[in-house]
Amino acid sequence: MYNHVIWPHQFDPKTSAIYALNDIDVNAPPEVVWKLLVDAENWSNYFPAEDQVKILSGEPELALGTKYSRVTVGFPMHLIVTECVPGRRLAWSTLVDGDETGSSAYHGWVITPTETGCHVLSEETQQGPFFLEELGRKNPGALYRYHQEWVESLAREAEA
């Protein structure tokens, strides 16, 4: 049994409009996967879609309280790391720049050691009119597909 994201109340999957869970077994130590995850400004080295990430609060990598921005599928966003247990758990909350509806998201990663490396789990929930329109109505399943590509790319990079 693998651990899952620890959800803040307002982001619980049971009450969220959009939810995706993606996971993969990785034949690399948890520390290798962790280093790739917290090195946000270099995500594009293995996942080209994340090529506009900028840490805004001065840290060299993601840590508890880190503020950063990114452009995902053409939408600029601001994020803050809300959970960081080195080598095991990383999560952030997201607001879309210019969205006046208050739409938000929460994305968590959980790394569980295994006999052959680790298991990586990614979960995200999204709430609000912006996400319902862009991902719920216009592009159903897009969040799952995007994260599946991300976890597979992360695993390939960690195993290289």
Q: Of the given ranges (35-39, 87-91, 116-120, 131-135), which has the lowest mean pLDDT?
A: 131-135
Domain 18-159 fold is: Alpha-D-Glucose-1,6-Bisphosphate; Chain A, domain 4 (3.30.530)
- Where helices occur in the chain by DSSP H, the ranges are 30-38, 129-131, 142-159
Report the predicted TM-score, pTM, of the whole model to 2 decimal places.
0.95
* Mean pLDDT across 86-105: 95
**Which residues are bridge partners to 125 per DSSP?**
19, 106
In the chain, domain spans: 18-159
For the segment 60-94, what is each residue's pLDDT rounded down to a tens digit?
999 999 999 999 888 999 999 999 999 999 999 99
Alpha-carbon distances of 11 from 8, 51, 114, 135, rounded to whole Å: 6, 26, 28, 17
The mean per-residue pLDDT over the stretch 121-140 comes to: 93
